[in-house]
């Protein structure tokens, strides 16, 4: 299974196109949300090699660290703090080309230079945010936004059937 992921090649847009059906297969037949989110984080991390790829779930009135790949990270983020909090409160994808220039950015790791955070919204509520960090400035673009938003739609559609 992991060996197939390694075969994904091409431009970044092509990689997202090849990755999507593989993520669909990874999720098929599994209803545990942590298992599925863990495999999504692992697949995206493996294919693109981003510095940090993971989820913060809405829980106990804050964002709490979920499955991820990369260095250890902050465990709890208030709804109004950081890039993740901004994605939570605005319910929109946040693209940050330079984290130093984003007021209130939470630096879990100094190597992180740019970031994209996407909220997953179910029945009008943000259930989680998908956070990706890169050690390169301005590493994320609309290509990533589109590719990752497709994965977010999959999570949103599946969410209520996951335990
Ligand atoms: N930088 C994020 C915090 C999470 S870590 O990047 C993994 C933020 O500002 O919300």
Q: What are the pLDDT tens digits along the chain (163 aa)?
A: 556 676 788 999 999 999 999 999 999 989 999 999 999 999 999 999 999 999 999 999 999 999 999 999 999 999 999 999 999 999 999 999 999 999 999 998 889 999 999 999 999 999 999 999 999 999 999 999 999 999 999 999 999 999 9
Our mutation pick for probing the ligand 1 site, out of 95, 101, 113, 115, counting the most ligand atoms within 8 A of Cβ, is: 115
Residue 86 CA: nearest ligand 1 atom is 10
Q: Which residues of 139-154 are buried (b: 16+ CB within 10 A; e: fewer)?
A: bbeeebbebbeebbeb
Identify the residue whose C-alpha is closest to ligand 1 atom 5: 108
Name every residue whose Cβ is closer than 8 Å to that of residue 159 and which is 6 or more positions away in sequence.
Answer: 33, 120, 122, 127
Torsion of CA 4, 118, 66, 111, to 10 degrees: 80
Q: Is 82 in the pocket of ligand 1 (CB under 6 A)?
A: yes
Q: Is 133 in the pocket of ligand 1 (CB under 6 A)?
A: yes
Name the maximum alpha-carbon separation found in the chain. 42
């Amino acid at each position: 299974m992991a060996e197939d992921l390694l075969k994904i090649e091409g431009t970044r847009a092509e990689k997202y196109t090849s990755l999507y059906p593989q993520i669909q297969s990874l999720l098929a037949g599994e209803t545990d949300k942590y298992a599925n989110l863990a495999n999504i984080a692992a697949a995206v991390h493996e294919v693109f090699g981003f510095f940090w790829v993971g989820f913060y779930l809405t829980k106990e009135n804050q964002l709490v660290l979920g499955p991820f790949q990369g260095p250890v990270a902050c465990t709890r983020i208030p709804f109004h703090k950081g890039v993740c909090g901004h994605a939570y409160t605005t319910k929109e994808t946040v693209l940050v080309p330079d984290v130093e220039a984003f007021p209130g950015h939470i630096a879990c790791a100094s190597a992180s230079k740019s970031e994209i955070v996407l909220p997953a919204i179910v029945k009008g509520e943000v259930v989680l945010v998908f956070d990706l960090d890169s050690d390169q400035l301005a590493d994320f673009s609309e290509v990533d936004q589109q590719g990752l938003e497709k994965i977010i739609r999959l999570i949103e559609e599946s969410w209520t059937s996951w335990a």
